[in-house]
């Protein structure tokens, strides 16, 4: 049973997230041979304040 985690910034609509899950499921199923009903997709949304690059947060730049 494949598990996929997608991390992205918050702000997408439910329709966009639904389409993303469908496409990821399709891609994983096609490439691994796992039945689509066994593919689990997690979406983890984060704020733009919740990460840094080279020790600096983009909101502090």
All residues at 6 or more sequence positions from 14 whose CB lies less than 8 Å from its CB, including other chains: none
Active site residue 58: no
Annotated catalytic residue: which of 1, 2, 9, 57? 2
Give the residue among 19, 15, 56, 27 at the shortest CA–CA distance from 2: 27
3-class secondary-structure state, position 50? coil
What amino acid positions are annotated as catalytic residues?
Answer: 2
């Amino acid at each position: 049973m494949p598990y996929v985690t997608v991390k992205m910034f918050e702000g997408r609509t439910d329709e966009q997230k639904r389409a993303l899950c469908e496409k990821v499921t399709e891609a994983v199923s096609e490439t691994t041979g796992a039945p689509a009903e066994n593919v689990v997709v997690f979406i983890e949304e984060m704020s733009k304040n919740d990460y840094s690059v080279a020790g600096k947060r983009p909101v502090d730049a």
